[in-house]
Structure 1
Amino acid sequence: MPARGPSIRIGALVPLTRPGWVEAGRHLLAGLELAAHEVNDAGGIAGRPLELLVRDTAADPRRATAAVDELAELGVAALAGEYHSVVARAVATRADALGVPFLCSSAVLDELTDHPTDWVARVAPAQSHAWRIYADHLLSAGHTHIAVATQPSVYWAAGTRILRDHLAPHAGTVTELDMTALTPTAVCDELAANGATALLLLTGHPEPAASIVRSVRGDRRVADVLIGAPAGQPELTEWATPYGTGIPFLRYLPAPLGPLGERVAASLREKLTTAPSFVAFEGYDTVKALTSALRTHGTTRADIAKSWPHITTEATRGRIHFTRTPGINNWQWTWPPVQVVERDPSEPGRFRVRPT
């Protein structure tokens, strides 16, 4: 029987306008909404429906912080979502200060807060965990001299540091190319001069990332240089073009999906009218985990914050269980599945899983 009592409000934070990654926001919201709809169709939480109060963060930390304040005043039981790491850090910091539980869906930056907190948990993997897997993939493919085209950002700086620290014991090196000072053509000049065999895109999307790819692939001097995007840009359909193929990136899905994942994938495809990305599954799994907390531990903010270490629920990508992880101040699912994949150049709609 559908839920009919007073609603339990959940604040859903997603990037739905530029400069946020709008397609990622759409997929994240689709997953959140689908799971909430299923919960309500099954009777809700002790007869009370889940109500998502959606706020657009537009990749703006200040706008997201203001949304947290508003949602807290509206009495939400918890916050969920967000894709951009710098924005999620702002949300986590404010949620921690206000005592509002925040279950982060997609942002991977290790340090969501400056100190250990019980108010924040995360279903996405930590950046240090996933990007080390990516570095191992590069090493296994014979790449020890890596260049990174990067822009100023806490997230990109953290990624560069993770790569450098992980490659160094294997005689690997990382050369930074500052995209505030270089044009895409100048990137090709730098690659030709320094002999890097792989170039990673630690930059904004669609620009300058798209122009860098086109320049590198159009320059015979660097035709053999691998282009990579560990942040996962080619997962979404904006990259399903010839320039977006053959670029290995991180994707947080198992191979293959289980029965629940397959069922949810079919529903998400119908909702989105396109193949769901891993971001949509992260949204769905976020509500699954919150539902487990609400049903088994209570619906107050304090109840939810105390529930993280006790949650165990089957989600689309495996069984979620939160733990304390060294170097990470929030409760963390350890670990969702991590793949390195690329779009097939001969069939851009198909993904090839690369060895790790």
Structure 2
Amino acid sequence: MAGMVEQVRPPRRDDMTAYAAERTAGASVRVGALAPLTRPGWVQAGRHLLAGMELAVREVNDAGGVAGRPLELVVRDTAADPQRAEAAVEELAGLGVAALAGEYHSVVARAAAARAHTLGLPFLCSSAVLDALTEQPADRVARLSPPQSRGWQVYADFLLGAGHDRIAVAAEPSVYWASGTRILRDYVAPRGGTVIELDARSLTPAALCDELAGHRATALLLLVGHPEPAVSIVRSVRRDPRLAEVMIGAPAGQPEFAEWAALLGDEGTAIPFLRYLPERLSPLGARVGTALREQLAEEPSFVSFEGYDTVAVLADVLRAGEAGRARPAADWSRVTVDGTRGRIRFSRTPDLGVWQWTGAPIQVVDRDPSEPEHFRILRSG
């Protein structure tokens, strides 16, 4: 059976995408998929996330579907808008989806998770990392990506190990960026480091360079939107002779995608970021990577593997009958799935209100200046 995907983009909300397959016999099991597919969302991340989910749906259906029924994605574009995501969750619940999956932006995923919890709809978050994904414990919500506190502490440890104890952050207003800044400060301050906050909204790139020079910062972290103002800031810092020794970092992962390399070329190399891949993919991961590379016509990002693993987990949960909406909760504790990046199991931790895959791999990597299409692993955690 082929993968079935219904994708709706304004203004024609019932259009099927070009890759949607013809319906197979029998009622499908429908899963709502959330992803940023238009600006101001991070479109390339959304496209990779959706590509991974689509590939997994095709493979699930080729293997017989869910209890003999085809699996179908019903896709909604969040455009990085929390209110739009909430409306999409309401709509998808009304359409009778068995579960929700996806999303990349943390503040959007948080809005979707809260609405899903209220409606009693299971939600597997693919790629958002904000620790407080829900304000209260939510048995029906689970997450594949590691919590921000874990990933950003690995990144902070990398910075200190590389000798950076005066760390500037150029940040825009956001719950996600503010949380990241707090994690960095709480980690480096007891270890003799300093975090200097710069307002990327009020400072021009040139003024930001002046601030960096005045504060004698040895590292600048971009906690800003992509492509702008991130690209303009990188160009200004790279071309300022006063800042030749300043390391630029982007913990949120902007350099992962081909668009970054296309816009910045050599200036976009040697900028460490977080990604969630193991040092070596399993045979399954290698096979999926090859298929994704062909589907995307470019190197698959870690986000595309997260998308694939999301559907693999949900198919397992749905086969077990644990995501039926009549049940009081989805039993994530029973999940054991071999994903592209390792064996996936969920557990509860005291500081998180959702079910969490605690074994998600974490790397600090950058683009190699000598080969910008290749990544160097700087630290694993």
TM-score of the superposition, structure 2-length normalised?
0.91
2:189 pairs, out of 140, 151, 168, with 168
SS of aligned partner of 2:135: coil
Residue number in structure 1 paired with 2:294: 270
Residue number in structure 2 paired with 1:51: 72
Distance in structure 2 (CA, Å) of the matches to 1:191 and 1:122 = 37
SS of aligned partner of 1:10: strand
1:119 CA displacement: 1.5
1:163 CA displacement: 0.2
Which amino acid in 2 is paired with 1:26?
R
Q: Are 2:240 and 1:219 aligned? A: yes
SS of aligned partner of 1:305: coil
Residue number in structure 1 paired with 2:346: 322
Residues 272-303 of structure 1: per-residue CA shift (max 9 Å, x gap): 01110000000000011111111224451355
Distance in structure 1 (CA, Å) of the matches to 2:375 and 2:116 = 37
Q: Are 2:37 and 1:16 aligned? A: yes
Q: Are 2:282 and 1:258 aligned? A: yes
Residue number in structure 1 paired with 2:15: none
Residue number in structure 2 paired with 1:310: 334
Counterpart mapping for 1:136-155 below 5 A: 136-155=157-176
Q: Are 2:191 and 1:191 aligned? A: no
Distance in structure 2 (CA, Å) of the matches to 1:355 and 1:180 = 31
Residue number in structure 2 paired with 1:237: 258
SS of aligned partner of 1:301: coil
Residue number in structure 2 paired with 1:295: 319
Residues 230-268 of structure 1: per-residue CA shift (max 9 Å, x gap): 000000001112221110000100111110000000110
Superposed structure 1 runs of 4+ greater than 4 Å apart: none
Percent of residue pairs identical: 68
Residues 35-59 of structure 1: per-residue CA shift (max 9 Å, x gap): 0110001000110111100000000
1:209 CA displacement: 0.6
Distance in structure 2 (CA, Å) of the matches to 1:298 and 1:115 = 22
Distance in structure 2 (CA, Å) of the matches to 1:265 and 1:131 = 26
Residue number in structure 1 paired with 2:89: 68
Distance in structure 2 (CA, Å) of the matches to 1:302 and 1:255 = 41
Residue number in structure 1 paired with 2:6: none
Q: Are 2:126 and 1:105 aligned? A: yes
The count of aligned residue pairs is 356
1:247 pairs, out of 271, 277, 289, with 271
Q: Are 2:377 and 1:353 aligned? A: yes
1:181 CA displacement: 1.4
Q: Are 2:57 and 1:36 aligned? A: yes
Residues 212-243 of structure 1: per-residue CA shift (max 9 Å, x gap): 10000100111100000000000000111222
Provide structure 2 residue ranges, at least 5 long, that are not aligned to the other structure: 3-23
SS of aligned partner of 1:65: helix
TM-score of the superposition, structure 1-length normalised?
0.98
CA contact (8 A) 2:166 2:216 kept: yes
Distance in structure 2 (CA, Å) of the matches to 1:89 and 1:27 = 20
Q: Are 2:26 and 1:5 aligned? A: yes
Q: Closer, same or farther in 2 for the Cα pair 1:90/1:160, shift >3 Å?
A: same
CA contact (8 A) 2:122 2:330 kept: no
Distance in structure 1 (CA, Å) of the matches to 2:248 and 2:321 = 47
Residue number in structure 2 paired with 1:209: 230
1:345 CA displacement: 1.0
CA contact (8 A) 1:323 1:334 kept: yes
Residue number in structure 2 paired with 1:282: 306
Residues 98-129 of structure 1: per-residue CA shift (max 9 Å, x gap): 11111000000000110111011000110000
1:342 pairs, out of 366, 372, 375, with 366
SS of aligned partner of 1:323: coil
Which amino acid in 2 is paired with 1:300?
G
Distance in structure 2 (CA, Å) of the matches to 1:110 and 1:297 = 28
Provide structure 1 residue ranges, at least 5 long, that are not aligned to the other structure: none
CA contact (8 A) 1:15 1:57 kept: yes
CA contact (8 A) 2:323 2:329 kept: no
CA contact (8 A) 2:113 2:141 kept: yes
Alignment RMSD, CA only?
1.2
Residues 296-350 of structure 1: per-residue CA shift (max 9 Å, x gap): 2445135593320110110000000001123111100002100000001111110
Which amino acid in 2 is paired with 1:94?
R
Q: Closer, same or farther in 2 for the Cα pair 1:328/1:290, shift >3 Å?
A: same
SS of aligned partner of 2:167: strand
